[in-house]
Structure 1
């Protein structure tokens, strides 16, 4: 719980990852490059003199979550977001089954969301069983193989699967929510901070491994590491397809990443009452591009109101200890009252994901924000 100016706020971090990108799980050079670029992004966005060491960053489990997230006293509850990427990682990068296991050991502190590839017919058919087995509170629509894959959302079978998942308990659908080193083309400039878009001056992406660690290309049991391998950008989604999907599922709540689309395009989706926005990229962007990200935050507040915005850190990309205070200060500086600040910091997410928090505080905050 966070306290400022005599007000106490329940904090629900709606964007947290537990993943395994360690060498034994990397399926090849692309997996190693992905983790290295995420760590580069962490060092740029976290703005701490003591960034998370690479080995700890590559494998985030229960110990890291308790120490950095819950142990600092600012975050009360959190939502674990999945990310499979089966082409880059042997056992998956952040599979929902692992998240469910972690959440079971920390009862009541985490909500677990699942992953659904719109192109995976088998995954659609078994979604109800997965939702009930893992107690999934939401689903992320992502490619289960590679981060750059384009997602097609106009399949009627997908709409039927999401409708069945909502009836089973997963009433939230995420789009553009996940750990990416390079956002999709057309995303706001402030969401790109952390990883260079182009190779370094030598014409190649700088490898993090030393020259003496290069394996022999012939006869070696080690994977061949391409020095000029580039990380893939995030996959693209057609906003028109999103509008049709949201309109067809009025009982489902859609949570969109703030850095996934240009802000003017994203704000036009505010006309749909089922659309919410996760502020992860905006809050990190306030550190690297304060003017541009501040303008985006103002536009999102005007379009969606505080009752449809969610706090998220993207942990471990950004540790939430200081970010919570920065977010509260930014909202209060824009004239929002304590009830609206409470809605953004935790009340909205607690309602969407059915997380146990002090009922009197959250109910009071939501009613006043509305």
Structure 2
């Protein structure tokens, strides 16, 4: 007996039917409420057979329908299921019209949609970029992550082992600047200075390089390890300690450098640099300081309560001090400091 046909009215065809046909909704239906409504209606109908001779088949079909409903009302699972049925989705893009890195990896089958959610949660909790998160979670290697970032940003990916930077390009910047900002000038191609970097170049650095070379700058993406190896090779201690800039570009660089220096100093003094712009080491340091701030905000107000236990003299002097005042101050300071650290200092 074909229970799908007899009980649910499903025409003859593949068995078991797909989730949409099983729940009697249009294929690729996205209305969650409509899917649930169809499930409830069919569930009530099939339950009529739960106590008769077909009780086992009824229960099996109820379980099957429940699994179909749960899949089609879960956005992540539904998307994967729909893609398996041949549905094509428009590529998701960020605010700049670019496909996010994690979606690039999903489209290349290097990452599943469940893993994408795990990466987003991991990156958020650790204060990491998605590129660093997928590598730390060992879901993809650094090369794959860099290639995906290049697709996201619309840049080329290069293997520095296959590249031979030109001395004229390398000489444009001093060793200290390259080490501080992690990039390698490669050469001028088609009227543009190609610069190998691990991410987008800051506007100030890009402007500086443009003035030094006298041509626009075009980044190309490489893995972090490759950049460090190239810096060690082309900017070893004693090499390129000073930059060599053509005389016609020197005045422009110096004039620009003066303006940048003043803006940088004002930026530092105002503490305007956001958490996401910091290097991994600076992020780690700021997280540690934030935890210390939170801890001390609770400890300091409580000192009048705890210090008398270690000194009889202090016990006499602070006998008048109400302990509840310390508890109240500690609660207020802890709440305020935690809010400032999590919403400002770590943002």
* TM-score range relative to shorter protein: under 0.3
Q: Which has the larger radius of gyration?
A: 2
User: Higher strand share goes to which structure?
Assistant: 1
**TM-score, normalized by length of structure 1?**
0.23
